[in-house]
Amino acid sequence: IADGLNGLSIARFKGDDTEATSGNRSQLDPSLTFDMTAAHSMVFVAKMTDTTSTGVLGGKFSNTTTRSYVDVPAGGGSIRYRFGATEITGTIGTDWFIGINAYDGSQYIKMYVDGTRSTDVDAAAAGGTASGAAFKIGSLSNGSQFADMDVAAIGLFDVDLFNSSYATLLAAIKSYCASAYAVNAS
């Protein structure tokens, strides 16, 4: 959609609302060989347009203990990063937000949403692993939990952006998103 946010184009995903049927739900399957069992980060600048049902922004999913994906639960108001048998949550409003989610490759999952960094969660202690299924944007790998969302930016990184070695890159991502999309990325 041209001129979707601050004069920039956006992508619109239609999931479970009345505009979408099983024949025209939106999802992207980039067929990435993105290794979610190693250190990685996912960045989203998005706005949920319907939170009646749980909507997945992106990631990989095989089952409830083999997964690495980001979603917004039904009812909205929060964002979750679900990795293996555990999850971390943050608070979102009804407008555009920035979410940065990371796994350090061995133990902790991390989250940053709209200027707030959540306490890291020990994913290793909870058990479970990342999924090797297809990486999807807009739904789970198995084609469920389609999201109704507008997306301005998606970034996938094969590093933990919260690792101090990548502080300059993380600061640049936040700065760009704050200036380009006017999200709270302080």
Helix (H, G, I), strand (E, B) or coil at 87: strand
pLDDT (0 to 100) of residue 28: 65
Can you tell me the mean pLDDT for 6-34?
A: 68
CA trace torsion 146, 149, 154, 159 (10° rounding): -60
Can you tell me the mean pLDDT for 6-16?
A: 84
The type of residue at 34 is: F
Can you tell me the mean pLDDT for 125-147?
A: 84
pLDDT above 80 (res 23): no
The model's pLDDT over 50-107, given as tens digits with 9 standing for 90+, comes to 898 899 999 889 888 899 999 999 999 999 999 999 999 999 999 999 999 999 999 9
Cα 137 to Cα 155: distance, rounded to the nearest angstrom = 11
pLDDT above 60 (res 44): yes
pLDDT (0 to 100) of residue 134: 81
pLDDT above 80 (res 30): no
pLDDT above 80 (res 16): no
pLDDT (0 to 100) of residue 173: 97
Cα 106 to Cα 11: distance, rounded to the nearest angstrom = 33
Residue 175 burial (CB count, 10 A): 12
pLDDT (0 to 100) of residue 151: 94
pLDDT above 90 (res 127): no
